[in-house]
Chains A and B, each alone.
Chain A
Amino acid sequence: MSSAPQKELVTGSIRYAPDAEVPNVDHKLFALRNQCTECNVCEIACALVHSPDGTINPQLSRLRIEHAPEKPSKVSPHGIGFIAEICHHCGNPPPCAEVCPTDAFYYDPNTQAAVIEQDNCIQCMECVPGCPFDVVFVAPQGELLKCDLCGGDPVCVKACAARPEMLNEGKQYVRLPVLFYETQPDFNQTSKQKPELQDEVGMMQAMLERGEISSSA
C-alpha cells in the first residue's frame, strides 16, 4: 500500500470527475504472440519504475510473461512460445473499473488510461475476475496491480529488444520488438509501412564487411 513515492517516476495524478466522459485510450499496448523470449526485462523495468523504494521485484510488475505452449502460431508450429500478458486498455470505462465498488480508478489525462488509486482501493479483488484478459495482478501483499502506461512512455516497450526473425521473408528481415505502443492496431498494416529492411548477414559476415576482421592470414 505504499504508492506515494512512485509518482516521481510515473506521471499523472489528476482525477477526472466520476461522471465526466473520458475519451478512449488512443495509444495502446500490444504484444506479439509467440515472439517473446521470456527475457523478463519488461517485468524488471516495470517493477523498478513502479517501485516505491528502488527495489526490483517482478511480482510487483504490471505485466507477466506467460508460457503459452498450447498456442502454436505460423512462426512457431511447435507451440513453443511465450507471451507478454499485458493490459489491453479496453474502451473507457474498462470492465475492471466498472466493477470497482469504491471507484478507486482514475484516468490519467495524458493517456486516458484507467489507473488504480491505491489509497481508495479496499483490495476486494473484484477487478481481478472483472478483467476479461486476466491482466489485473495481485501483489504478494495484496495490492492490485494494473498497467498505467507509465504516463505515456511505457517502460516495458522501451525495454523490449528488437528481434530479427520477425516476418522473415527470403533473405530479408525486419527488426521489431515484441511489445508495441501504437495508435494503429493493425500489425499487418504497420509492418508493411514501417519495416527497415536489412540484408541478412551473420555475425561474422557483418564483421568481415566492416573490415573488423580479416579472413586471411
Chain B
Amino acid sequence: MESRLLRVDLTTGECNSEVIPHSVFERWIGGSGINNWIMWEHFLTHDVNCDPRGPDNIFVFGVGPLAGTGAGSGIKGRITFKSPCYNMFGDSAGGGKFPYMVRFSGFEYIAITGKAPKPCYLHISNQEVSILDAAHLWGKNTAETHALLQEEHGTYPSKTHTLTVSQAGENGVGIAGVVSDALRIHARCGGGAVMGSKNLKAIAVQGSGGLPVTRPKDMLAWSDDFRKKIDSNEAVYGFKRRGTLGAVEMYQHIGSHFWRNNQGNMFRGDEIRSDNWVKKYHKYSEVCSSDCFIACDAKYKIDGTESEAAQKYVGETFRRPEYLTTGSAAGALDVRDWAEVAHWGKLTNDYGIDNQDLSCSISFLMELKQRDLISDRDVAELFGHEQSLEWGNMEDIEACVEDVVFQRNAFGVMFRDGPYHGALKYSAMMGKNFMKYAMYGKGGASFTEEMRPFPTWMNNMAVASRGADHLKGIGLIEKFQRKDLSKIYFDGRIEAADLSTTELKGACTAVVENQVALLNSYGVCMFHWMLDPAGYTPQDYYGKAYGAVTGIDRTPKELMHDGERICNLEKAFNSRVGMRREHDTVCERWMWEPTEEGIYPGKVAADMFETVLSDYYEWRGWDKASGLQTRAKLTELGLDDVADVLEADGALA
C-alpha cells in the first residue's frame, strides 16, 4: 500500500507530490490517522502555539484506503488542522463526492500551508495541480462557488467536485466549516476559517485514474457479504427511511433533546415531534457520498402547502435536515415548523457554518433576553438593527446568522468563535457573569443534545480531542441501554448500559474512541457500524476489508492497538498546546443545574463526572492527576518519538 501526498505552499506557490510509504500505513492505518501524523510532523518544525489563522497553521485533507473500493460503507473525507475557534486539535469529517473523486485523482492526501498573496483556489486534474485566481469566487457562498467551478472545469477528464468555503471562511469566522460539493459540510472546529485565512477559496478536483486493491477477489467477497448483512438488518430499514431523524421520536421519549438552550429536554409543538413532514419527502435522492449501501440522506422540496411558514420558501430544495440540524433549530432555538427547520439546514450549509456553535450562540442571547437579564437597549446596541431575540423567530434567527457570517455588527464579531468565547466577551462587556447560560464542553465547543443523565456522553463532551462532540466516542451502549453490547464489550458485564452507576462509563468512552478512530482512518461512514455495533466491528469485520485493500493483515487486537495509537496522537497534540485535566470539563448548566423533565429528572453531570473522568484516564493509561500521557503508555504503543516531544514541552506525566 502506497499513497500520494500533495503538498502545497501557498506563500511560494510550490506544489510537490510525495509518496506516503507502506510503513506509514502500517503505523497510522490511513485517513484521519495519517492526517494526524502529517499535522504532527508539521508542528515539529513550526510553532505549535501559532495563531491558527496564521500562515504557520496546516490544513490537511485526507481520505482513507477503504473509500471508493466498493466496501459499501460510505466515504468520508477528513480535514485536520489546528482549530481557530477552540485553539486545539481540530478535525472534521464530511461526505459528498469530493473525497470520492480525490481518490481517483491519484492524490489521497493534500497538505496546505502558508498564505496566498491574493484569493486563489486549487485545481487538481489527475496529477496536474494549479493554483488559480479566485477573484470571481470571492464573496460567493458555497453553493454559488460550487456551481461556478463545475461550469468552469466541465466534465473532462471527469466531473468536477469541490471543497469550498463561504463568506464566513473568508471573514475569518472561527466556526466556519468547509463544504463538499455544496451539500455536505465538514462543520466542526472551523476548517473554513483556516482555508479562508490562507486566502484559499476552494479545492476543485477531477480524476480519471484508478485506485489499487491488493486482493480484488477478497474485496468483492467482503463487499457481497456486507451488503447481505446490511440488507438483512431490520434496523437498517428504519435508518434508510429516516436517517438520523429517527432519533427525534426516541429522544422525545427519553428526554434527550436540547430545548431552548437546554432549559428543557423535550421538543414542543405537535408537528415538529412527528415525522409526517419527513415521510412526505422521505426519499428518492442520491446518497450523501458514494459507495454507501444505506443512503440515509434524502431531499426535500417545499411546495408551500406544508404550513404557513412554508410559503416563504416555495421551491426551495435541499437535503433533508438531519438530527443535529433539527436539534439546533427545533431544539436550541425552538423553531416549531419543519419548513423553517429545513431552511435553517440550507442556510447554515450555504453559509458553511457550524449550526451547533451558531445555534448555541443565538440561544444564549435568547435566554438572557427571556430572563430579562438584558434590556431591549442592550440588544439594540449589540445588533445595531432591530432584533427581537424571540424563541423560534426564524427571520430574526436568519439575521443573526448573517451577522456572524458577514461580521457586520458587535454580535457577529463577538460570537465568531462560538458561544463560549462570545459569552466571555459579552459578560466582560456588560460587567456581569452570564457564563451560567453558555452551553459548551471541552474547548468551548457546543453540542445540542441533553447530556446530564448520560455519564458516558457527558464524558465524551469533556474529553473529545476536537472539543465537545459525540463522534469521537459515540456511546450507543449507554444512551440506548444496550446490555447486550455491554456484555460483548466488557466480558459479560452489563454496567456500561446502566445509567445509575459510574462503572465502565469511562471505559466505554476509551474503547469506543479507539474503534471510531479506526473507522475514521479507514475513510468510511460511522453509521453502518452503529446499526450493528457488535456485528460489523471496526477491528474485526472492517479489518478484513482493510486487509484485502491494503494487504496489511492485522488481528482485531492489533487493530484496536492501532486505534489507541491514533487517539493518543490527538491527545498528545492537545497536551502540547497546554490542555490538562482541568480542561476536560463541561459548562456550568450541565455540571450543576438539575434536569427538570424527561424520564431522568434531577440529574446533574457532577453526580458522576469526576469519577468517570478518572476511570477514563485509568483505562487510557494516563496520569489521573494531570490528565497527561505517561511514557509507559506511549512506549507500549510504539510512540517513543511522541513521548520525547512531549517531554521536551513539559507535557508528559
Residues on A close to B: CB < 8 A? 9, 34-35, 37-41, 44-45, 47-49, 51, 53-60, 75-76, 78, 80-82, 140, 155, 158-159, 161-165, 173, 175, 198, 200-207, 210, 212-217
Contacts and interface: CB of A to CB of B under 8 A. Distances in A.
B317 A164 contact: no
Contacts of B210: 47, 51, 53, 55-57, 60
A49 B70 CA distance: 11
Contact of A48 (B213, B246, B287): B213
Scoring A35, A48, A51, A161 by chain B CB atoms within 10 A of each residue's CB, the highest score goes to: A161
B249 A38 contact: no
17 contacts: A37-B286, A39-B291, A40-B291, A41-B292, A56-B210, A75-B284, A140-B208, A163-B295, A164-B240, A165-B241, A165-B282, A201-B238, A202-B246, A204-B238, A204-B480, A205-B238, A217-B599
Contacts of A49: 216, 220
B158 A59 contact: yes
Nearest to B236: A203
A40 B290 contact: yes
Contacts of B419: none
Contacts of A204: 238, 246-247, 249-250, 480
B100 interface: yes
A206 B235 contact: yes
A78 B250 CA distance: 30
A211 to B, nearest CB: 8
Contacts of B480: 204, 207, 212-213
Given A57-B211, A202-B242, A80 B235 contact: no
A48 B600 contact: no
Interface stretch (B3-11, B222-230, B620-628): B222-230
B638 to A, nearest CB: 30
B117 interface: no
A165 B284 contact: yes
A161 B290 CA distance: 13
Given A38-B290, A41-B293, 5 more contacts: A39-B290, A159-B70, A175-B237, A202-B238, A217-B500
A55 B214 CA distance: 8
Q: Which of B157, B214, B241, B299 has the most CB of A within 10 A?
A: B241
Given A51-B216, A216-B599, A41 B286 contact: no
Nearest to A166: B283
B481 interface: yes
A203 B292 CA distance: 18
Contacts of A162: 231
Interface in B273-316: 282-287, 290-295, 299, 301
Contact of A215 (B70, B254, B286, B287): B254
Contacts of A55: 210-213
Given A44-B291, A45-B223, A202-B238, A161 B230 contact: yes
Q: A-B pairs with the 9 shortest C-beta distances?
A: A203-B238, A55-B210, A57-B210, A202-B238, A161-B293, A38-B286, A37-B295, A44-B70, A40-B290
B211 A56 contact: yes
B90 interface: no
Nearest to B240: A164
Contacts of B157: 140
Contacts of B246: 202-204
Contacts of A45: 70, 220, 223
Contact of B241 (A54, A59, A164): A164
Contact of B481 (A59, A82, A214): A214
B267 interface: no
A216 B498 CA distance: 11
B484 interface: yes
Contact of A217 (B72, B240, B600): B600
B573 to A, nearest CB: 33
A51 B72 CA distance: 19
B24 interface: no
Interface of B: 68-70, 72, 100, 104, 157-158, 208-217, 219-220, 223-224, 227, 230-231, 234-242, 246-247, 249-250, 253-254, 282-287, 290-295, 299, 301, 317, 480-485, 499-500, 531, 599-600
Contacts of B216: 9, 48-49, 51, 54
Contact of A54 (B213, B238, B285, B290): B213
A49 B104 CA distance: 17
Contact of B482 (A47, A57, A161, A213): A213
A53 to B, nearest CB: 8
Contacts of A165: 240-241, 282-284
A41 B231 contact: no
Contacts of B301: 78, 80
A217 B238 contact: no
Given A39-B287, A164-B241, A203-B246, A56 B213 contact: yes
With a 10 A CB-CB cut-off, give which of B70, B157, B219, B485 has the most chain A CB atoms.
Answer: B70
A159 B72 contact: yes
A56 B291 CA distance: 12
Nearest to B213: A54
A39 B238 contact: no
Nearest to B476: A213
Contacts of B227: 41, 158-159, 161
A84 B499 CA distance: 48
Nearest to B214: A54
B20 to A, nearest CB: 17
A200 B234 CA distance: 10
Given A35-B284, A48-B213, A203-B235, A41 B291 contact: yes
Nearest to A162: B231
A162 B229 CA distance: 11
B234 A212 contact: no
Contacts of A47: 210
A42 B510 CA distance: 37
Contacts of A54: 212-216
B285 A80 contact: yes
A165 B283 CA distance: 8
A151 to B, nearest CB: 14
Contacts of B241: 164-165, 200, 202
B123 to A, nearest CB: 19
Contacts of A158: 224, 227
A48 B219 contact: yes
B220 A39 contact: no
Contacts of A161: 72, 227, 230-231, 293-295
Contact of A58 (B104, B249, B481): B104
* Residue in A40, A78, A140 with the greatest tally of chain B CB atoms within 10 Å: A40
Contacts of A159: 70, 72, 223-224, 227
B295 to A, nearest CB: 4
Contacts of B211: 55-57
A213 to B, nearest CB: 4
B544 to A, nearest CB: 16
B237 A164 contact: yes
Contacts of A59: 104, 158, 208
A80 to B, nearest CB: 5
A32 B250 CA distance: 33
